[in-house]
């Protein structure tokens, strides 16, 4: 019974957990009055860094991809919320930490055929990693 529990709770190979601070565009003159839901399965792609050591070899600025694990709600009158994410990148980069100073942008849903309806506001989301994922 214990072995079955370990198998069910172990994340899939290549999927590591981290915390992403997801922020929306926030205008203090007209702050958002309603909450914004970021659905589970939302993808955030790395915007690349000028000091990325792999950029010269891969030529790919989008070297890391994060996927939200559950629904995240950014409350009304707030700019940001924390979201658990997993690394689902297929590049050689398999780890991320706050010290890497990477910025992520919303890149759509992992559900290609049944993508959830999203507001225009969701397309302006950005994110920063708060902790480290191996």
Q: Which helix (H) or strand (E) holds 22?
A: strand 16-23
pTM score of the predicted model: 0.75
Give me the count of residues in the chain. 134
Q: Which helix (H) or strand (E) holds 43?
A: strand 42-46
pLDDT value, residue 133: 67
What is d(CA 86, CA 63) in angstroms, rounded to the nearest whole number? 14
Per-residue model confidence as pLDDT tens digits over 46-96: 886 655 666 666 665 556 889 999 999 999 888 999 999 998 866 666 778
Mean pLDDT of 116-123: 76
Provide the b/e sequence for 30-68 (b: ≥16 CB within 10 Å): eebeeebebbbbbbbbbeeeeebebeeeeeeeebbbbbb
Is the confidence at residue 101, as pLDDT, over 70?
yes
Q: What separation in angstroms does the CA of 128 have from each of 45, 89, 99, 122?
A: 11, 16, 10, 16
- If you average pLDDT over every residue of the chain, what do you get? 77
* Range name among 10-19, 34-43, 46-55 with the lowest pLDDT average: 10-19
């Amino acid at each position: 019974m214990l072995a079955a529990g370990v198998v069910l709770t172990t994340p899939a190979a290549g999927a590591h957990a981290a915390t992403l601070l997801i922020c929306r565009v926030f205008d203090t003159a007209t702050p958002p009055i309603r909450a914004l839901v970021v659905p589970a399965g939302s993808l955030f792609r790395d915007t690349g860094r000028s000091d990325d050591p792999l950029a010269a070899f891969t030529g790919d600025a989008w070297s890391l991809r994060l996927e939200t694990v559950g629904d995240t709600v950014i409350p009304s009158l707030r700019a940001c919320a924390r979201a658990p994410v997993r690394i689902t990148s297929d590049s050689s980069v398999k780890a991320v930490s706050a010290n890497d100073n990477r910025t992520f942008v919303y890149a759509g849903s992992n559900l290609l055929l049944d993508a959830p309806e999203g507001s225009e506001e969701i397309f302006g989301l950005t994110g920063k990693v708060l902790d480290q994922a191996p």
